[in-house]
Amino acid sequence: MEIICIGNELLIGKTLNTNASWMAKKATSLGIQVKRIMVVGDHVNEIASAVTEALDRRPRFIVTTGGLGPTFDDKTLEGIAKALKRKLGINERALNMVREKYETLAEHGKLEKTELTPPRTKMAKLPETAEPLSNPVGTAPGVAMNVDGTALLILPGVPSEMEAIFEQSIVPLFRRESGDTAFFEASVYVDDIMESTLAPLIDQTMHDNPFIYIKSHPKAEEGEPHIEIHFSTTSKNPKTARNRLGKALIQLSELVQKKGGKIKSQKKRSN
Amino acid sequence: MEIICIGNELLIGKTLNTNASWMAKKATSLGIQVKRIMVVGDHVNEIASAVTEALDRRPRFIVTTGGLGPTFDDKTLEGIAKALKRKLGINERALNMVREKYETLAEHGKLEKTELTPPRTKMAKLPETAEPLSNPVGTAPGVAMNVDGTALLILPGVPSEMEAIFEQSIVPLFRRESGDTAFFEASVYVDDIMESTLAPLIDQTMHDNPFIYIKSHPKAEEGEPHIEIHFSTTSKNPKTARNRLGKALIQLSELVQKKGGKIKSQKKRSN
């Protein structure tokens, strides 16, 4: 799976990319591996390039966020249409979704005119063969397309809208793809051992535990070492996964203590 | 400028990519435009691909973070050497930097052995023609290379180390490149107007203010609209920039009020 985030606000450092990490965490927990995250600005050519490059790597899923709204700088669908050499046109199902949203808002007295102005109609202009995904909390529908075996899933950038469509329409796809495979992780925090001393201990533990991936995350400078050691594995069987994690965690903890390191705390989490 | 962030922790959603937004904000404020951010995992081939692709777009700067430490999964320099078809070898200046760090730690009684073990020496193995950048707060030096007119700047992933090397070695490069050009921005928050109603007002204001970029950021669903409108411009002259921002901000505020929108607050910021 690849993630493409679209929005100048990410490239000027105005907005922290919480969408990417939310999606990455969610996909990982469902057993879907994220291979790359790309961030591009609100430019048709940049969006088209990023989508073309991602499609060339033939991932099973590409999820994009951002650029689906009614303003001039919402250019995601235009960029994707360009990448795929498909035309953009009104999708009747999408137009109905947008119309119903504005009618509901008007019924609740939140809107005077339900008129489908060009900025509103814009949200229903999809590339040919695309299907809209209903947006439970906002106006712009998500979009799904199949491109030579890659499911291209296009979501808005407002976090509440992205998350709602993701939960409703993408989680079931991911579950079907990964079967019951899930991601399991555990962390141990160690003090008084430097990362450079830890390195061969991690090597040995990974060698002895071939299904476990271990990564050290230094939380302070080498001089006052405080390091998180993160263990992870994927498995269809939660018990197998927890046993594997436990075994590797114990082995590495013992090696660390032999070298004078202190184990500070353990945290285990299964998704 | 392009940013490449390296680390599995970003792809599993364990770590929020604050490094990317810190660097993007810093570069933008210095008048350097970030065109793309890529995130890849701790895999030599993935790192090599991302670097090759970024170099092919010939940006003036590529800054990478992550993967410079002493452990097996710190693979950035290996990936870059592969992308550039250069060999990795001990760089004497880098080795001296690493040696001095461990000697200082030993002098302060924080370390028994200053021995340059393979994991420690690893941090001084740079691609041919690369130069180390001194790391004021950690052990692994940063690395700078010139590749056909692109400055490839390679920083650690620990935020305090990345920021210290960036401030010391990269900020001066960026200042020299951009001259006195700086980025200026201002925001206004509006209520009671929908983004789809706002869209044509933004179009008109941008048309009348050709040096100003305006982007709306909905902070709630379309039904209860609360929207940030963000204005930005770049200029060598702060006064010109502030006048431009002020003019566009006033024009759009008036248009919003005519449509029944409420201006909630204004925030102006110059870097």
Overall average pLDDT of the A79-84 stretch: 98
Claim to verify: residue B159 and residue B53 sit in the same structural domain: yes
Percent of chain B with pLDDT over 90: 83
Inter-chain CB proximity A13 and B26 less than 8 Å? yes
Across B175-202, average pLDDT:
92
Residue A115 clears pLDDT 60, i.e. is over it: yes
Mean pLDDT over residues A167-187, rounded? 94
pLDDT band of A220, cuts 50, 70, 90: low
Give the one of A21, A27, A70 whose C-beta lies nearest to B16's C-beta: A21
Confidence band, pLDDT 50/70/90 cuts, at residue B224: low
Together in a domain, A165 and A189: no
Same domain, A172 and A214: no
CB–CB contact B24 A36 (8 Å): no
Domain boundary among B178, B205, B226: B178
**Is the domain of B163 the same as that of B225?**
no
Q: What is the DSSP string of chain B?
A: -EEEEE-HHHHTTSS--HHHHHHHHHHHHTTPPP-EEEEE-S-HHHHHHHHHHHHHT--SEEEEES--SSSTT--HHHHHHHHHT--EEE-HHHHHHHHHHHHHHHHTTS-S-----HHHHHTTEEETT-EEE--SSSSSPEEEEEETTEEEEEE-SSHHHHHHHIIIIIHHHHHHHHTT-EEEEEEEEEES--HHHHHHHHHHHHHH-TT-EEEEEESS-TTS-EEEEEEEEEES-HHHHHHHHHHHHHHHHHHHHHTT-EEEEEEEEE-
* Among the partner residues A71, A221, A232, nearest to B195 by beta-carbon distance: A71
Considering only the beta carbons, identify the residue of A13, A202, A232 that sits closest to B72: A202
Residues B35 and B85 in one domain: yes
Contact between A35 and B46 using a beta-carbon 8 Å cutoff: yes
pTM: predicted TM-score of the whole model, two decimal places: 0.93
| Surface of A (11-30) touching B: CB under 8 A | 11-18, 20-28
Digit-coded pLDDT (tens) for B123-133: 999 999 999 99
pLDDT of B214 reads 96
Give percent above pLDDT 70 in chain B: 95
Give the confidence band of B220 by pLDDT, cuts at 50, 70, 90: low
Of all residues in chain A, the one with the smallest CA distance to B117 is: A196
Instruction: Tell me which residue range forms the domain holding B15.
Output: 2-178
Question: Based on the domain organization, do A228 and A262 belong to the same domain?
Answer: yes
The domain boundary, picked from B139, B160, B178, lies at B178
Whole-number pLDDT of residue B219: 83
Within this chain, do residues A164 and A45 fall inside the same structural domain, yes or no?
A: yes
CATH of the domain at A108: 3.40.980.10
A59: chain B residues, CB-CB within 8 Å = none
Last residue of a domain, one of A139, A162, A178: A178
**Does residue A134 sit in the same domain as residue A105?**
yes
B199 CB within 8 Å of a chain A CB: yes
Answer whether B223 touches A (CB < 8 Å): yes
What CATH number is attached to the domain comprising A257? 3.30.70.600
Same domain? For B159 and B188 the reply is no
A165 close contact with B: CB closer than 8 A: no
Which has more confidence, A223 or A187? A187
Residues B134-163 pLDDT 10s: 999 999 999 999 999 999 999 999 999 999
Is the CB of residue B8 less than 8 Å away from at least one CB of chain A? Answer: yes
Q: Which among A23, A70, A222 has the least Cβ separation from residue B196?
A: A70
Is pLDDT at A209 greater than 90 in this prediction?
yes
A128 and A228 co-located in one domain: no
Checking if the pLDDT of B41 tops 90, the result is yes
Contact between A16 and B16 using a beta-carbon 8 Å cutoff: yes
Q: Which has the higher per-residue pLDDT, A41 or B111?
A: A41
pLDDT in tens, B60-117: 999 999 999 999 999 999 999 999 999 999 999 999 999 999 998 888 776 767 788 9
Residue in B11, B36, B196 nearest the CB of A117: B196
Domain count within chain B: 2
* Nearest chain A alpha carbon to B105: A223
Whether B37 sits inside 8 A of A35 (CB atoms) is no
The predicted pLDDT at position A223 comes to 55
- Lowest mean pLDDT of A147-161, B11-25, B108-122, B246-260, name the range: B108-122
Distance from CA of B64 to the nearest CA of A (A): 14
Pair (A206, A163) in one structural domain: no
B130, B188: one domain: no
